[in-house]
């Protein structure tokens, strides 16, 4: 078991190490977060609409769209010099490779999500009176569900002629539960509703994350093998 | 089943299906009593609700065949999955076209985020993803595996999607619509009409499925013949 | 005593194209087989199947007498591969690349193993250099270091001389010669007739997915090999 986790962590560590050499994905996602906030500011007429009313929706959509930018490149690194063959030839079980990638993506996207909350909080002068731990749990589980699906599909996208433009078409319909439960919970937490009202949301997001991480781990080998 | 049997089955199922559809329409327009709250407009319910059910069951079939295909590697299961997907997509499209039609007359709007319609719209896109991914690879065998993965993920997600969409809708109850969609006390004749609708569309689905399955078999034979030809040419050269 | 590496009836199709058409061979531990062949002969596909990176449509591979199929992971530490691509991460240093792969292969003595390996290949002073700053020749040396890090019994090399200048070629030749330590089994794919023949115990010519001939190198000189090669390519049997 320890050896297995060590393998997963080796993959995650390598992905993060590469990312911190170039900051490619973080920059793209981070800039996206800020710029989208700016554009939303210009596209919302505050005389007619209160940003606070739609903040949760805007935040979640930004995380998802921006996340696509970063997640699409998950296997790009391995494409460049054929490193994927090197990994596939090694003893690492394919589900461990998948989980390592998921964990790396989760860390990166969580960072981006945090930035989105701060940027939107700043730009739209949002106030938060709810329980921050619960908010973190909601967003964390939502991000995990998103990442588990997107990592699996980005492996497909890398190997297909349609490439990364295929990714949103495949993933968006499947993400509906994450958006529904995540955004409504965020809305309620921002409005200061009692935590018990988002208990169901938490459970559904957790179920989604668990189901698709397990399914992704099991199905990954069909997507990555030749 | 051999070729003749398949052709015969497709024909018989198709004919029976069409006949049942005609029966269904007779029942819908002339036999079943008008529903109390919604009026005449409600009758399309007997046509598009069975179409939904078949659409979702169709995807269930795709998911099941996909899972067993990945497990056993038997090519025929992939053919069954593709046949189910195409037939299912036909019914989803029918549902999406008739649903708003009914909505326009019943609710006055072309589109409503009513749970079944919403789930059907999302299901349509999942079907689309299934087909896109099949065609997108250089190696056709890989495309089949990718499609199977979509099938399995889709089947796992659809219940979650439907629950989430229904829950969201329930936050803003619109009583009239809800009761018409899920009439709990189905009058005997209403139940019978729905049953006939289900039967009619099941027969048509089965006919489409078998036809497509057979065609997939022919496509496979053609591919194999091409491969042998290429091999033969190489030897002669 | 089992064979070092054994291939039995390997076949691989891509749709209608048969890339590898029934390749079989047996290598004793310590033997080096060079595979020559024109582009498109299926040599890379063959090597990928031997490495367990690509699943054969039929046939199987045995490494040190044990089955080596794609699904299992336990035999993979016995094999090392060098491709014409470096299989490295350009943004990471030589040391970081080796550490990553070392971990994948479950090695826990990396603190000593990596410096030793780097020293034996003359790379010690560049351990902290990002791989993308290295010349092609140096990159190939690192690629070989990566392949040998876990001390595999079988080494597969796919056109390692590609893009190397004469000096780098000579260095690689030396490294390959030192591979032959009596128990390592090597399969080398190359276009370089001279180098390929020099190092080998046996020579195979692959054309259109099949070995048209397998010959002991001892009985061939370069001129004879050239004749054999051109004959095989022009008249595939």
Q: What backbone phi and psi angles, to 5 degrees, belong to B134?
A: -60, -40
Averaged pLDDT, A73-87: 89
User: To 10 degrees, what angle do helices A51-71 and A24-43 make?
Assistant: 150
Is C14 near chain B, with CB under 8 Å?
yes
Q: How many angstroms away from the CA of A85 is the closest CA of chain C?
A: 7
Q: In what order do the strands lie in the sheet with C5-14?
A: C17-27, C5-14, C58-63, C66-67
C45 at the B interface (CB within 8 A)? no
Contact C16 B223 (CB under 8 A): yes
What is the spatial distance between Cα B77 and Cα B100, in angstroms, rounded to a whole number? 34
**Which sign, positive or negative, has the C-alpha torsion A84, A86, A89, A95?**
negative
Query: What is the reported pLDDT for C237?
Result: 60
Other beta carbons within 10 Å of B141 = 16
Q: What is the pLDDT at residue C118?
A: 93
Quote the pLDDT of residue B133: 92
CA distance B160 to chain A (A): 6
Are A204 and B192 contacting, i.e. CB atoms less than 8 angstroms apart? Answer: no
Q: Max Cα separation, chain C?
A: 53
pLDDT at B231: 59
CB contact under 8 A, B234 and C15: no
Provide the angle, in degrees to the nearest 10, between the axes of the packed helices B188-236 and B45-72: 40
Q: pLDDT band for A61, please (50, 70, 90 cuts).
A: very high
pLDDT of residue B173: 63
User: Of B157, B133, B200, B129, which Cα lies nearest the Cα of B60?
Assistant: B157
Which residues in chain B have their CB less than 8 angstroms from residue A166's CB?
132-133, 136
Burial class (CB in 10 A: 0-12, 13-18, 19+), A16: middle
The answer, for C38 touching chain B at a CB cutoff of 8 Å, is no
Whether the pLDDT of residue A162 is over 80: the answer is no
CATH class of the region B13-236 = mainly alpha
Contact B10, B145 (CB under 8 A): no
Strand C185-189 with C32-36, pairing: parallel
Strand partners of residue C80: C155
Other C-beta atoms within 10 Å of B170: how many? 11
The shortest CB-CB distance from A159 to any of B126, B142, B164 is to: B142
Choosing among C42, C89, C187, which should be mutated to test the A contact, i.e. which has the most A CBs within 10 A? C89
Q: Is A172 on the interface with B (CB under 8 A)?
A: yes
What region, left, alpha or beta, does residue B99 occupy, with left being phi > 0 and alpha being psi -120 to 50 degrees?
A: alpha
- Higher per-residue confidence, A93 vs A78: A93
What pLDDT is attached to residue A49? 86
Question: What ranges do the domains of chain B cover?
Answer: 13-236
**Structure-token match 């499925």, residue found:** B209
How is residue B48 written in tokens?
């598009």
- Interchain CB contact of B161 with A (< 8 Å): yes
Tens digits of residue pLDDT in B146-186: 999 999 999 999 999 999 999 988 877 654 444 445 554 55
Phi then psi for residue A96, to 5 deg, are -70, -40
In angstroms, the CA A133 to CA C114 distance is 44
Show the low-confidence residues of chain B (pLDDT under 70): 1, 35-39, 41, 173-187, 227-237
Q: Please give the C-alpha separations between residue A110 and each of A8, A63, A66, in angstroms, as whole numbers.
A: 18, 9, 12
pLDDT at B38: 65
Instruction: Please choose, from the candidates A219, A3, A2, A222, the residue with its C-alpha nearest in 3D space to the C-alpha of residue A92.
Output: A3
Q: What is the pLDDT of residue A3?
A: 92
Q: State the pLDDT at residue A88.
A: 94
Cα gap C143→C126, rounded to integer Å: 14
The count of residues in chain C is 237
Domain locations in chain A as residue ranges: 2-224
Distance from CA of C10 to the nearest CA of B (A): 16
Per the structure, the complete domain to which residue C114 belongs is given by: 5-234
Instruction: Measure the CA angle with vertex A97, ends A91 and A101; round to 5°.
Output: 155
Say how many domains are in chain C. 1
Residues of chain C with pLDDT under 50: none
Token reading at C147: 């392949």
Pick among A222, A223, A224, A225 to test the B interface (most B CBs inside 10 A): A222
Q: Which two tokens stand for residue C92?
A: 């990471």
Q: Give the three-class secondary structure for A30.
A: helix
- Reading phi first (left if > 0) and then psi (alpha if -120 to 50, else beta), residue B185 is in beta
Neighbouring residues of C52: CB distance < 8 A, sequence distance ≥ 6: A88, A89, C61, C68, C69, C70, C75, C76, C79
- Cβ-nearest to C70 among A82, A87, A225: A225
Cα dist. B165→A181, A204, B103, B121 in Å?
10, 12, 18, 12
């Amino acid at each position: 078991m320890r050896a297995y986790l060590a393998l997963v962590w080796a993959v995650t560590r390598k992905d993060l190490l590469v990312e911190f050499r170039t900051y490619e994905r973080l920059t793209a996602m981070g800039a996206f977060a800020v710029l989208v906030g700016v554009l939303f500011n210009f596209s919302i007429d505050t005389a007619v609409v209160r940003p606070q009313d739609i903040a949760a929706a805007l935040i979640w959509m930004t995380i998802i769209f921006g996340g696509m930018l970063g997640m699409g490149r998950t296997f790009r690194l391995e494409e460049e010099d054929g490193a994927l063959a090197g990994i596939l030839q090694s003893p690492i079980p394919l589900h461990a490779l998948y989980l390592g990638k998921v964990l790396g993506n989760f860390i990166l996207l969580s960072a981006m999500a945090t930035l989105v909350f701060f940027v939107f909080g700043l730009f739209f002068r949002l106030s938060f009176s709810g329980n921050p731990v619960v908010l973190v749990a909601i967003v964390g589980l939502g991000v995990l569900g998103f990442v588990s699906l997107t990592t699996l599909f980005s492996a497909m996208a890398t190997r297909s002629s349609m490439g990364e433009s295929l990714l949103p078409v495949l993933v968006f319909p499947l993400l509906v539960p994450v958006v529904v439960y995540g955004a409504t919970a965020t809305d309620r937490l921002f409005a200061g509703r009692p935590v018990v009202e988002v208990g169901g949301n938490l459970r559904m997001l957790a179920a989604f994350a668990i189901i698709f991480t397990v399914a992704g781990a099991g199905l990954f080998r069909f997507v990555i093998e030749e | 089943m051999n070729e003749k049997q398949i052709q015969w089955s497709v024909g018989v199922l198709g004919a029976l299906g069409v006949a049942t559809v005609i029966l269904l329409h007779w029942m819908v327009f002339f036999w079943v009593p008008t529903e109390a709250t919604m009026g005449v407009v409600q009758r399309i319910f007997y046509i598009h609700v069975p179409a939904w059910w078949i659409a979702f069951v169709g995807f269930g079939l795709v998911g099941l065949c996909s899972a067993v295909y990945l497990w056993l590697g038997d090519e025929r299961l992939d053919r069954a999955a593709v046949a189910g997907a195409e037939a299912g997509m036909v019914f989803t499209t029918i549902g999406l076209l008739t649903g708003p039609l009914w909505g326009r007359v019943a609710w006055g709007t072309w589109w409503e985020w009513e749970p079944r319609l919403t789930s059907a719209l999302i299901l349509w896109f999942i079907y689309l993803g299934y087909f896109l991914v099949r065609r997108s690879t250089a190696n056709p065998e890989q495309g089949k595996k990718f499609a199977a993965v979509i099938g399995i993920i889709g089947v796992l997600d659809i219940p979650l999607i439907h629950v989430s969409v229904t829950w969201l809708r329930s936050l803003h109850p619109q009583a009239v619509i809800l009761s018409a969609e899920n009439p709990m006390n189905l009058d005997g004749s209403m139940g019978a009409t729905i049953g006939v609708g289900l039967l009619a569309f099941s027969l048509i689905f089965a006919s489409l499925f078998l036809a497509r399955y057979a065609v997939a078999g022919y496509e496979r034979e053609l591919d194999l013949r091409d491969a042998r030809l290429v091999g033969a040419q190489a030897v002669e050269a | 005593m089992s064979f070092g590496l054994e291939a039995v009836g390997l076949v691989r199709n891509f749709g209608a194209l048969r890339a590898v058409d029934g390749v079989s061979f047996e290598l004793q531990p310590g033997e080096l087989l060079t595979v020559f062949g024109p582009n498109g002969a299926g040599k890379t596909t063959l090597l990928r199947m031997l490495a367990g990176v690509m699943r054969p449509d039929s046939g199987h591979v045995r490494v040190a007498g044990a089955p080596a199929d794609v699904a299992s992971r336990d035999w993979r530490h016995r094999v090392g591969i060098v491709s014409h691509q470096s299989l490295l991460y350009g943004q990471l240093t030589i040391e970081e690349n080796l550490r990553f792969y070392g971990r994948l292969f479950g090695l826990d003595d990396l603190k000593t193993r990596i410096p030793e390996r780097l020293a034996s290949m003359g790379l010690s002073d560049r351990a902290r250099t990002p791989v993308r700053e290295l010349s092609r020749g140096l990159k190939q040396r690192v690629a070989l270091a990566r392949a040998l890090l876990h001390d595999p019994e079988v080494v597969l090399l796919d056109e390692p001389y590609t893009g190397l200048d004469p000096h780098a070629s000579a260095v690689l030749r030396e490294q390959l010669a030192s591979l032959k330590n009596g128990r390592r089994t090597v399969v080398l794919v190359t276009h370089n007739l001279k180098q390929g023949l020099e190092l080998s115990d046996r020579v195979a010519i692959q054309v259109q997915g099949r070995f048209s001939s397998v010959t002991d190198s001892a009985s061939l000189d370069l001129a004879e090999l050239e004749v054999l090669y051109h004959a095989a390519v022009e008249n595939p049997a």
